[in-house]
Amino acid sequence: MCGIVGILGRGPVAGQLVESLKRLEYRGYDSAGVATVEGDHLERRRAEGKLKNLEARLHGDLLSGHTGIGHTRWATHGKPTERNAHPHMTDNVAVVHNGIIENFRELRAELEQNGANFASETDTEVVAHLVESYLKNGYSPQDAVKTLLPRLRGAFALAFLFKGHNDLMIGARRGSPLAIGYGDGEMYLGSDAIALAPFRYNHVS
Ligand code: HGA
């Protein structure tokens, strides 16, 4: 079972994201990653295997963004490699995903026909490319995600970041858990409230 965490914070969040993911380690995973909004662009670090490998990446190549998402992956579609690890990214979107997008083959074929280049073997990457296509058509991030959801079959939890939006994190779920926490000037997302336990927050769902 994979894990999702998201923090819309007041200081650099990469370290906190990894600490939260550690609380979900008991569920098992094969790779991990984090992405943050770094000024006007998105950045990610990913690693196969244990979170200590991701920590080593982050020590060598720091992220300083105040808004970020993190994921521990248990592969369902595609090998447990760094290339398939989440977050998945396009020019303007980063996404982490728990669950399965059942109709990803049709969606991928459609997106590839329209020129999208896929970098992974996962079902998840169609989500990033679909949202990217809506953004390129002028949708706001919120409307892009709203337009995405009816196109997906299956059970999922998703957390998104958007290039150029330092104060925005969008979460969506259908049939998979995703908790939201409101803190003091901070907000959190977690696939399990245990991930959010160290933070001072009010749990709402
Ligand atoms: N289908 C996605 C996420 C897998 C998952 O939720 N595992 O528990 C993938 O294979 O990356």
Q: What is the pLDDT of residues 139-164, one digit of tens each?
A: 999 999 999 999 999 999 999 999 99
Q: Tokens for 103, please give them.
A: 């109709």
* Domain extent at residue 21: 3-204
Could you give the number of structural domains in the chain? 1
Q: What is the pLDDT of residues 9-68, one digit of tens each?
A: 999 999 999 999 999 998 899 999 999 999 899 999 999 999 999 999 999 999 999 999
What is the pTM for the complete model shown? 0.96
Read off the pLDDT band of 205 (50, 70, 90): low
DSSP for 30-93, please give it: SEEEEEEEETTEEEEEEEESSHHHHHHHHHHS----SEEEEEEE--SSS-SSTTTSSPEE-SSE
> Residue 101 Cα, ligand 1 centroid: separation in angstroms?
9
> Residue 184 Cα, ligand 1 centroid: separation in angstroms?
32
Residue located via tokens 């679909």: 130
Ligand 1 atom closest to the Cα of residue 176 is 6
Q: What is the mean pLDDT of the chain?
A: 95
Which domain CATH number covers 162?
Answer: 3.60.20.10
Give the per-residue pLDDT at 134: 98
> Residue 35 Cα, ligand 1 centroid: separation in angstroms?
17
Mutation to probe ligand 1, out of 4, 97, 158 (largest number of atoms < 8 A from CB): 97
Nearest alpha carbon to residue 22 among 204, 139, 196: 196
Mutation to probe ligand 1, out of 26, 30, 98, 120 (largest number of atoms < 8 A from CB): 98
> Residue 77 Cα, ligand 1 centroid: separation in angstroms?
7
> Residue 185 Cα, ligand 1 centroid: separation in angstroms?
31
**Is 4 within 8 Å of 69 (Cβ atoms)?**
yes
